[in-house]
Each structure stands twice: as C-alpha cells, then as structure tokens.
Amino acid sequence: MENDPHILVADDDSVLAELLRDYLSNEGFQVSVVHDGQSALDAVELDPPALIVLDIMMPVKNGYDTLRALRERHSIPVIMLTARGEDLDRIMGLEMGADDYLPKPCNPRELVARVRAVLRRAASPAPPQEYVVAGLRVCPGDRSVFVDDKPVVLTSTEFSVLELLISTPGQVVEKEQIYEHALGRKMVAFDRSADMHVSHLRRKIGLLANGDERIKTVRGQGYLFALPSA
C-alpha cells in the first residue's frame, strides 16, 4: 500500500535479505533490498525510507562506514544486524548512532517487533511543551534539541531517552524504564544499549556550566537528569 512504511534492507546475504523482504512485506511494509553500503546510501538519497535494517559486513562500503555517512545527513532510524556474540559490533553500532541492533542470524518475527517499536518511537505523538534546563532545550513537538540555541542532531532513540530523562529532572529513572519506554523492549542481561545511548547523548549535549555531567549515573539503579546548582 502507498502509505505503508518503507523499509530498506541492506545485507549482502541475498538469501537472508529476501527472507526479510518477504516477512516484512507480509507484515504490511514496503521493502527495498540492496546488497552493499554504497547502494544503501544511494537508495536513501533517491527515496528516504522510514527505517533501515543495516548489516555490518558488506562489500564496497561496510555497515559502519555506511552508518557514519548516513548520520552526516539523515536521522533515519537504523537497526544494525551484528555478528552473534560480538559485543564490539553492538557497541560500535550504537556509538555511531544506530537505534537498535539484532544478532545474526536474526529471527524475522523479532526483527518485525523491533522495527515496529523503533517506528513508534519516531512517530509517537508528543506533548506540545518544551523542556528547558540550563541552556538545553528539548522540543517534543518536532523532536528537536538545542544547546545554547545551537541545534543538536540526535537519533530517534537518543531523543526518546533524553525526553524520558529530562521529563523528570532530579529524579532517578531506572534502566528498566529506559528499555521499556525509550527503547521499546524489556531489559535483558548483558545488554548495554541504554548505557551506550546515554554515553552518546552526553557527548552531544555537553556539560553543565560547572563542568558536571547533565546526565548522571546512579549506580545500581539508572540515570538522573541533573539540575544545575543554585
């Protein structure tokens, strides 16, 4: 259908790519498939998709280089396909701006669930109010962020994490809440996705005037959006 979300699958495994195309198509998505990173970037410029499923190991331009180039121009949500058990792949993908990841070989049903969760976060209706704390302005209406009136580009997932934290400044937000409300899934053991998204956010939004982090770690609990000292 014309209004069905368009998903771009970039994977040089033609058998898996076609399997994902068939499964996603049956779930109501429009699906395009490419088999290398440069073709993915070219496809984005011709017809920007709602979301990209991006493999790491591809010819011409690998997934890391593709994601890096993509983030210079676009905030399109990205789900990375990583080697099973390779923590470094997941960490690097999240550091570069991926919204989520799945290990290969991936379960198509789980991929559909992740795709729907990421798209919900990107398109969910937002309250009109803005959050302004110590030079940081977060605008849920158009999902924009400014530091000292300078725009900061965040991924959809990074924005969702920041919005959750800044909506209750000075209060601890447990990691389980971040996974469920910002990442759209349950927290599981050894999953450091939330930590990586917060790490990325910290670099992008900078420090408070006194040099403290805007987002503080509360060990054994979660994170807290800090209020500046009086």
Map out the domains of the chain with their CATH numbers: 6-123 (3.40.50.2300), 131-225 (1.10.10.10)
Q: Is the pTM of this model over 0.95?
A: no
Give the Cα separation of 230 and 99 in Å (integer).
35
Distance CA 205, CA 165 (A): 13
Question: What pLDDT sits at residue 89?
Answer: 75
Q: What pLDDT, on the 0 to 100 scale, is given for residue 140?
A: 86
**pLDDT for residue 218:** 93
- Amino acid letter for position 185: R
pLDDT for res 213: 93
- Structure tokens given for 110: 């789980």
Determine the pLDDT at residue 85.
Answer: 59
Q: Which residues of the chain have pLDDT under 50?
A: none
Cα angle value 217/118/175 (rounded, 5°):
20
Q: Give first-to-last CA distance, the chain, whole Å.
A: 55
